[in-house]
């Protein structure tokens, strides 16, 4: 069985402030490149790790253009919902989102809660998916699958999660799950999105853990400038499992597409943030704090509009990425 995994496409028609090229055109080129590879190699199934769109109410024109490309894949596309695909981090709003629209048109298919069995006639795979929720990374069990709790005779289990699964620690007060914490999962392959930098494929006792990183580069951190976007080609047969990184040929170098001028400015801001962060660490017990709960409490007490609260949540998520980039 041949599968292909990519994630965090963040489709939008407008240019992020850090991009020097035409961001939307670069997205279309990458999607066409994935389609051409999948069709040429006769891939059986394509899997997307979430955050298809940069916002749930994506404009009609780009949604239609992207929908046409996705409809030209010769195989089913399965996806989990990312935090940018839904309103207010509420999965119940999917029916009002553009991801929900594409699912209703069967252009792609949301992975149901109970999973779905895939087969190529030789191998049977149970594909499971975990959509983004605000409390996903507070409990490692959200990433752990137990075969005896599932009604399946599948040969292999693949688990897709849109959450902060990482190969190394973040700051202690930032919710995240380490690969080492979920090694007792019965999933043969665990694939994640959400964290744009991603991490190299890890193999532990025959189990695979991987995040290829976002298909796009939005922030202009050094990690993003040096990162080459990629997707993962997966092969499963009687000989076992193999995962292969495939880099986008259409992706230009970070130096060509990300604005270094704003990088210098952001580096200065990061230095100031580091000083501020260090002073907090010296004077505040951050381990006792739940930043998201604090954010929600402040928003409620001050009567902030939900758009303001969601923007603050987005910035908190981006801060997690900056911290991890710096630790690398």
What CATH code is carried by the domain that includes residue 37? 3.60.21.10
Beta pairing class for 2-6 and 230-237: antiparallel
Evaluate if residue 213 carries a pLDDT over 70.
Answer: yes
The whole-number average pLDDT for the span 95-100 is: 96
Asked whether residue 121 falls in the same domain as residue 270, the answer is no
Asked whether residue 228 falls in the same domain as residue 264, the answer is no
Asked whether residue 69 falls in the same domain as residue 176, the answer is yes
Asked whether residue 282 falls in the same domain as residue 220, the answer is no
How would residue 312 be classed by pLDDT, with cut points 50, 70 and 90? confident
Domain boundary among 200, 220, 247: 247
**In which element (H, E) is residue 210 found?**
strand 207-211
The whole-number average pLDDT for the span 67-81 is: 98
Asked whether residue 214 falls in the same domain as residue 323, the answer is no
Asked whether residue 143 falls in the same domain as residue 231, the answer is yes
- Is residue 168 situated within a structural domain? yes
- Is residue 271 situated within a structural domain? yes
The whole-number average pLDDT for the span 164-187 is: 92
Domain boundary among 202, 224, 247: 247
Evaluate if residue 157 carries a pLDDT over 60.
Answer: yes
The whole-number average pLDDT for the span 212-223 is: 91
Asked whether residue 118 falls in the same domain as residue 199, the answer is yes
Asked whether residue 214 falls in the same domain as residue 271, the answer is no
The residue range of the domain holding 321 is: 260-327
The pLDDT of residue 238 = 84
Asked whether residue 268 falls in the same domain as residue 125, the answer is no
Any residues with CB less than 8 A from the CB of 122 and at least 6 apart, and which? Answer: 1, 237, 238
Asked whether residue 11 falls in the same domain as residue 54, the answer is yes
Asked whether residue 223 falls in the same domain as residue 131, the answer is yes
Domain count, the chain: 2
- Three-state DSSP at 216 gives coil
The pLDDT of residue 197 = 93
- Is residue 252 situated within a structural domain? no
How would residue 264 be classed by pLDDT, with cut points 50, 70 and 90? low
- Is residue 254 situated within a structural domain? no
The percent of residues above 70 in pLDDT, for the chain, comes to: 82
């Amino acid at each position: 069985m041949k599968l292909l995994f990519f994630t965090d496409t963040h489709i939008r028609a407008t240019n992020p402030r850090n991009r020097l090229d035409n961001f939307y055109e670069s997205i279309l080129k990458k999607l066409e490149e994935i389609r051409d590879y999948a069709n040429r190699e006769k891939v059986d199934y394509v899997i997307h790790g979430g955050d298809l769109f940069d916002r749930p109410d994506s404009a009609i024109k780009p949604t239609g253009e992207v929908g046409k490309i996705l409809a030209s894949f010769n195989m089913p596309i399965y996806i989990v919902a990312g935090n940018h695909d839904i309103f207010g981090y509420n999965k119940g709003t999917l029916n009002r989102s553009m991801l929900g629209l594409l699912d209703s048109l069967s252009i792609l298919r949301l992975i149901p809660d109970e999973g779905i069995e895939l087969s190529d006639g030789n191998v049977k795979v149970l594909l499971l998916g975990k959509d983004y929720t605000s409390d996903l990374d507070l409990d490692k069990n959200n990433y752990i699958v137990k075969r005896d709790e599932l009604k399946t005779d599948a040969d292999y289990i693949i688990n897709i999660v849109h959450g902060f699964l990482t190969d190394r620690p973040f700051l202690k007060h930032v919710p995240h799950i380490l690969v080492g914490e979920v090694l007792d999962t019965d999933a043969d392959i665990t694939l994640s999105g959400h964290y744009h930098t991603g991490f190299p494929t890890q193999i532990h006792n025959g189990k695979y853990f991987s995040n290829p990183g976002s298909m796009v580069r939005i922030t202009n951190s050094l990690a993003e400038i040096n990162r080459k976007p990629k997707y993962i080609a997966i092969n499963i047969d009687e000989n076992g499992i193999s995962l292969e990184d495939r880099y986008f040929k259409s992706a230009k170098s970070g130096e060509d597409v990300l604005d270094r001028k704003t990088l210098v400015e952001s580096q200065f801001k990061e230095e100031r943030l580091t000083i501020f962060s260090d002073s907090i660490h010296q004077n505040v017990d951050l381990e006792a704090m739940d930043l998201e709960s604090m954010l929600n409490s402040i928003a409620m007490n001050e009567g902030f509009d939900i758009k303001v609260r969601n923007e603050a949540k987005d910035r908190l998520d981006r801060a997690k990425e900056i911290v991890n980039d710096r630790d690398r």
